[in-house]
């Protein structure tokens, strides 16, 4: 997968999260979690785009770390919605899998880039 395909995938995931949050039943908790999950998911896309424009390998690796952390946060907030009973995992299985795949991509990429730059950890 090249960087343009990953950019497309992260932007699509962020847009899907926005549509998902907009469809949540309104309550104080879904409003708060919705804001957090939108911030995390859109940060994945924005920071990956910034990583692709990095001027140095160190900056690229740093941005990938941010992307990885925000992807994990997105998954965390989805888990909180599931665990709190606001949504069922079955009803959001496709979205959950999409975010989980993004987490896997950036976890592997970040580790690989760090290992290539600084040696195996």
Tell me, letter by letter, the H, E, C secondary structure of the chain. CCHHHHHHHHHHHHHHHHHHHHHCCCCHHHHHHHHHHHHHHHHHHHHHHHHHCCCCHHHHHHHHHHHHHHHHHHHHHHHHHHHCCCCCCCCCHHHHHHHHHHHHHHHHHHHHHHHHHHCCC
**pLDDT at position 116:** 74
Overall domain count for the chain: 1
- Mean pLDDT along residues 16-30: 97
For residue range 47-88, list pLDDT tens digits in order.
999 999 999 988 988 999 999 999 999 999 999 999 999 999
What domain range is 97 assigned to? 3-118
Mean pLDDT, the chain, integer = 93
Which CATH number fits the domain that encloses residue 9? 1.20.1440.60
Q: What is the pTM of this model?
A: 0.89
Whether the per-residue pLDDT at 43 is higher than 80: the answer is: yes
């Amino acid at each position: 997968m090249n960087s343009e395909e990953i950019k497309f995938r992260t932007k699509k995931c962020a847009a899907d999260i926005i549509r998902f949050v907009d469809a949540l039943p309104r309550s104080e908790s879904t409003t708060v979690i919705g804001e957090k999950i939108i911030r995390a998911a859109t940060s994945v896309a924005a920071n990956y785009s910034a990583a692709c424009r990095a001027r140095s390998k160190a900056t690229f690796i740093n941005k990938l770390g941010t992307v990885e952390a925000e992807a994990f946060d997105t998954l965390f907030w989805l888990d909180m919605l599931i665990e709190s009973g606001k949504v069922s995992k079955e009803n959001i299985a496709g979205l959950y899998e999409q975010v989980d795949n993004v987490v896997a991509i950036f976890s592997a990429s970040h580790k690989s880039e760090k290992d290539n730059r600084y040696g195996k950890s």
